[in-house]
């Protein structure tokens, strides 16, 4: 059944607001019918995935160029997920020319509709921070779980096209995470282990996500976690279990557990078992970090680790362009570059064509990257703490 629509929504659906808005509203109404939404909810921002040429290919490019050619414009601020290359440094990255040309066309189609080329999966690190209770339409799975859980915003895990439609119409179907009744945990995880490293949060996220399978998770026993650690936790939960929301007692803005929720424990042995499962190969050709995109705090830490040293293997630190520019101003990019590493902006190890650049084995500290690198980039993955990958605990990555 068609949901009730406001006058403006009806105008868009009937084509009175232009063919692009009509096309977008038709998709949103179809989704509302599928999910049984009782109407639309206005959203304050959209974050759009499906931006890399690698993931959307020629069909995606054609669709976007057609939409842009109809004179379509967005209604609300909208931001892009990473593309398949550093938009300004793709030649240096050795991205194939044909790929780069198509990628730039995709970027052009999005920006001509008014979408900001932020090219990051961490918009919340560059000032896009919706408030508690604010409805948004974000698509990148790690950003969705961060926005819902850490910021307390309301968003479903949109697909790239539905987030784009929300940007064009300013609304999204009201179901799922937009409804208070669904923001309740059905799985409680008792964490009986210390989590000193960011990668530990990824391991925990892989365990919890695998059991939860989309259900909301409530963690007990985590005493302290900064935003970077929560970013790694949520990214892994989304990758291993399609989660969109978690709670941590005393840390996240919400905490609600259903009576009779399932209970599991994450202890030392469970963590060790998962860490072993994630670590497929002992050696890498390249070390990559910044999945989700690195914060300035992470870059500072890396610069501190590699200052005055020479890395034996290439290092990519994946970041948004905005954060890269701040890191450059602060001299951090130069320190990392002198050691042989790179701040790679706009893209990441998963959505770039790594397999076409000659890499076969990648070292990562992100559980989410472990999940996707084998299938999306044909990589074997060495999963470890970053300092171990870089060679600061008896490893082989760096020398004085
Ligand atoms: Fe972001 Fe790429 Fe990881 S989009 S979350 S860095 S797979």
Q: How far apart are CA 301 and CA 137, in angstroms?
A: 32
Instruction: Give me the residue label for tokens 């291993």.
Output: 240
Q: Tell whether 1 is covered by a domain.
A: no
124 and 251 housed in the same domain: no
Q: From ligand 1's centre to the CA of 66, what distance in Å?
A: 27
154 and 225 housed in the same domain: no
347 and 294 housed in the same domain: yes
92 and 218 housed in the same domain: no
Q: From ligand 1's centre to the CA of 344, what distance in Å?
A: 12
Domain end among 179, 205, 239: 179
302 and 375 housed in the same domain: yes
Q: Which of 291, 321, 377 to mutate to test the pocket of ligand 1 (most atoms within 8 A of CB)?
A: 291
Q: Whose CA is nearest to atom 7 of ligand 1?
A: 350
pTM above 0.85, yes or no: yes
Q: How far apart are CA 231 and CA 382, in angstroms?
A: 20
76 and 203 housed in the same domain: no
Low-confidence ranges of the chain (pLDDT < 70): 393-400
191 and 221 housed in the same domain: yes
Which residues constitute the domain of residue 215? 184-275
45 and 20 housed in the same domain: yes
pLDDT given at position 369 = 98
pLDDT given at position 395 = 41
Q: Tell whether 333 is covered by a domain.
A: yes
- How is residue 116 annotated by DSSP? B
Domain end among 150, 179, 208: 179
159 and 121 housed in the same domain: yes
Q: Count other Cβ atoms within 10 Å, centred on residue 375.
A: 9
Nearest atom (ligand 1) to Cα of 49: 4
Q: How far apart are CA 41 and CA 136, in angstroms?
A: 9
Q: Please tell me the total number of residues recorded for the chain in this structure.
A: 400
215 and 321 housed in the same domain: no
pLDDT given at position 393 = 58
Cβ(84) to ligand 1 under 6 A?
A: no
pLDDT given at position 205 = 98
Q: Tell whether 2 is covered by a domain.
A: no
Task: Return the structure tokens found at 242.
Answer: 């399609």
Q: Tell whether 229 is covered by a domain.
A: yes
Q: Tell whether 369 is covered by a domain.
A: yes
Cβ(354) to ligand 1 under 6 A?
A: no
Q: Tell whether 300 is covered by a domain.
A: yes
252 and 239 housed in the same domain: yes
pLDDT tens sequence across 348-373:
999 999 999 899 999 999 999 999 99
How many structural domains is the chain composed of?
3
Domain end among 179, 205, 240: 179
Q: From ligand 1's centre to the CA of 292, what distance in Å?
A: 5
Q: How far apart are CA 142 and CA 344, in angstroms?
A: 19
pLDDT given at position 93 = 85
pLDDT given at position 337 = 97
87 and 175 housed in the same domain: yes
pLDDT given at position 2 = 87
CATH number for the domain spanning 104: value is: 3.30.499.10
């Amino acid at each position: 059944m068609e949901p009730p629509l406001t006058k403006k929504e009806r105008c868009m659906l009937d084509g009175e607001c232009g063919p692009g808005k009509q096309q977008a509203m038709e998709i949103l109404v179809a989704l509302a019918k599928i999910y049984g939404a009782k109407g639309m909810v206005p959203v304050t921002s959209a974050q759009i995935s499906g931006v890399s040429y690698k993931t959307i290919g020629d069909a995606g490019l054609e669709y976007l160029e057609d939409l842009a050619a109809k004179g379509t414009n967005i209604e609300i601020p909208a931001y892009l997920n990473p593309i398949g290359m550093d938009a300004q440094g793709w030649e240096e990255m050795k991205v194939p020319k044909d790929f780069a040309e198509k990628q730039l066309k995709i970027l052009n189609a999005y920006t001509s509709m008014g979408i900001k080329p932020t090219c990051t999966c961490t918009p919340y690190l560059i000032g896009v921070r919706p408030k508690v209770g604010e409805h948004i339409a974000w698509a990148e799975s790690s950003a969705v779980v961060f926005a819902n859980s850490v910021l307390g915003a309301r968003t479903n895990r949109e697909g790239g096209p539905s987030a784009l439609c929300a940007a064009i119409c300013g609304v999204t179907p009201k179901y799922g995470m937009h409804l208070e009744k669904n923001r309740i945990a059905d799985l409680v995880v008792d964490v009986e282990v210390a989590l000193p490293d960011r990668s530990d949060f990824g391991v925990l996220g892989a365990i919890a996500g695998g059991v939860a399978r989309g259900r909301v998770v409530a963690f007990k026993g985590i005493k302290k976690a900064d935003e970077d650690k929560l970013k790694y936790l949520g990214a892994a939960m989304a990758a291993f279990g399609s989660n969109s929301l978690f709670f941590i007692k005393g840390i996240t803005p919400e905490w609600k557990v259903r009576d009779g929720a399932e209970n599991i424990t994450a202890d030392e042995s469970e963590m060790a078992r998962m860490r072993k499962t994630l670590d497929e190969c002992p050696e890498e050709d390249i070390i990559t970090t910044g999945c989700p995109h690195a914060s300035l705090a992470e870059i500072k830490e890396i610069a501190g680790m590699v200052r005055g040293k020479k890395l034996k293997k290439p290092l990519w630190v994946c970041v948004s362009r905005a954060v890269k520019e701040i890191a450059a101003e602060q001299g951090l990019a130069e320190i990392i570059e002198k050691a042989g590493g790179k701040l790679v902006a706009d893209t990441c190890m998963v959505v770039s064509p790594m397999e076409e650049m000659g890499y076969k084995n990648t070292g990562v500290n992100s559980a989410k990257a472990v999940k996707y690198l084998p299938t999306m980039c044909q990589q074997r993955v060495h999963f470890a703490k970053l300092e171990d990958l870089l060679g600061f605990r008896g490893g082989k990555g760096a020398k004085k």
